[in-house]
Amino acid sequence: MPPPTHREPPVMTNPGADRVKSVRALSRRSVRDKTGRFLVEGPQSVREVVAHRPELVVDLYLTAESRARHADIVAAAEAADLYLHEVTDEVLAAMCDTLAPQGLAAVCRVVTATLDDVLAGQPRLLVLLTNVRDPGNAGTVIRGADAAGAAAVLVSDASVDVHAPKVVRSTAGSLFHLPLVTGLPVEETLVRLREAGIRVLAADGAGTTLLPDVDLSGPHVWVMGNEAWGLEESVRDQCDEVVRVPIYGKAESLNLAMAATVCLYASAAAHNR
C-alpha cells in the first residue's frame, strides 16, 4: 500500500459519527456550560472569529466548495495554525443549528472578560442587558453596541446565553469585536459602575426623560430590560435617569433592539461630536 501523499485528515463523511453529534450538542446550553465551547456558523461569523479571535477556535469545519469559495478565511485560518477539517454538506448540516450553515462552522472556546478588565479600560460607553430573553434581540444589541463603538457589553445572570447559536448569528461577528462580561448580578454591577464614575441610564418606554434631553457627553452605561415587561422597579430605582426614546407617530413603542440602537447612536454622536 503506498504511503499517503499528504498530511490532510480524510474528509468526514458520516453524519452519524460521534464527533458530529458532539458538535451538534453545542446547541444545548447545558453542553456549552459543561464543555466551555460553542459553535460559530457561516462564513460571516467564522471570518470574524478567525480574524479577530483566532485563539478561540478549537476546530474549523468546511466543505470542499467552501474551501474554494472562501480562500480568504482558509488563508487566515492556516496563518493562525488552526485545524481545518473537510466535511460533506450532510456532515455540516448535522453539526449545525441553522438549516443552511453555508459551508463553514467553527467550534470555539467560550472566553469572557471580567467587569474589572472592562473598568480598567476606563470605558466611556457600555450596555448592560438585564433579563433580555430573545436571542435575536440580544445579538442585534451586541451588533449595535459594536457599531456605536461601545467598550463592552455586560450581560446579567438572568439574560439569554450569548453563546447560543441564534445570538451568535444575530451578532454578525460583533461577538468577536468587543469584550463580553456575562452572568453579572444586576444590582451589584450597577453599584460598581456608579463607583467607577459611570452614569447609569435606563432605556425604558416608561421613562420620564426624553432621549434628546439627556447629556450624553460623559461615560455612561445603557441598561436594557426585558422585551415584554421592561426594567424591574428595583433596577430602575438604581439608575441616574430613566430615558425614553420619543415616539413621534402612533407606534406604541420601538422593539428592544431598535431602542437600544437609537440610544447607542445618540451616545456615539455625543462622544464623537
Neighbour order of strands in the sheet with 57-62: 37-41, 104-109, 57-62, 84-86
# binding residues, a copy of itself (CB under 8 A): 36
Closer Cβ to a copy of itself, 10 or 249, answer by number: 249
Site map (CB under 8 A) of a copy of itself, residues 50-69, x = contact: --x-----------------
Q: Is 265 in the site for a copy of itself (CB under 8 A)?
A: yes
Using the rule CB under 8 A, is 242 a contact of a copy of itself?
A: no
Nearer to a copy of itself, 41 or 146 (CB): 146
φ/ψ of residue 224, rounded to 5: -110, 135
Mark out the alpha helices in 17-59 (DSSP H runs): 18-24, 29-35, 43-52
Looking at residues 119 to 158 of the shown chain, list those that interact with a copy of itself (rule: CB under 8 A).
140, 143-150
Across the beta sheet with 209-210, the strand order is 180-184, 152-156, 125-129, 220-224, 199-203, 241-244, 209-210
- H or E segment to which residue 106 belongs: strand 104-109
Q: Which is nearer to a copy of itself, 74 or 127 (CB)?
A: 127
Torsion of CA 76, 139, 155, 214, to 10 degrees: 110
Grouping H, G, I as helix, E, B as strand and the rest as coil, residue 176 is helix
The C-alpha cell at 114 is 471580567
Query: DSSP letters along 125-165, please?
Result: EEEEE-S---HHHHHHHHHHHHHTT-SEEEEETTSPPTTSH
- Rule CB under 8 A: is residue 230 a binding residue for a copy of itself? no
Closer to a copy of itself by Cβ: residue 124 or 163 = 124
Return d(Cα 162, Cα 125) in angstroms, integer.
20
Question: Rule CB under 8 A: is residue 262 a binding residue for a copy of itself?
Answer: yes
Nearest to 61 by CA among 34, 89, 37, 35: 89
Taking the complex as a whole, the smallest distance from the CB of residue 47 to a copy of itself amounts, in Å, to 9
In the complex, the smallest distance separating the C-beta of residue 106 from a copy of itself, rounded to whole angstroms, is: 18
Counting contacts by CB under 8 A, is residue 195 touching a copy of itself? no
- Nearer of residues 12 and 160 to a copy of itself, judged by Cβ: 160
Residue 215 interacting with a copy of itself (CB under 8 A): no
Query: Under a CB-based contact definition with an 8 Å cutoff, are residues 138 and 159 in contact?
Result: yes
d(CA 250, CA 71): 49
Q: Which stretch binds a copy of itself (CB under 8 A): 24-32, 179-187, 214-222, 252-260?
A: 252-260
Q: Rounded to an integer, what distance in angstroms lies between the CA atom of residue 147 and that of residue 143?
A: 6
Cβ 2 to a copy of itself, closest distance in Å? 46
Taking CB under 8 A as the binding criterion, the range among 19-27, 35-43, 93-101, 244-252 that sits at the site for a copy of itself is 244-252
| 76 forms part of the interface with a copy of itself (CB under 8 A) | no
Please identify, among the stretches 21-29, 184-192, 194-202, 242-250, the one whose residues bind a copy of itself according to the rule CB under 8 A: 242-250
- What is the contact surface with a copy of itself in residues (CB under 8 A)? 52, 140, 143-150, 172-174, 177-178, 212, 245-255, 257-258, 261-262, 265, 268-269, 271-272
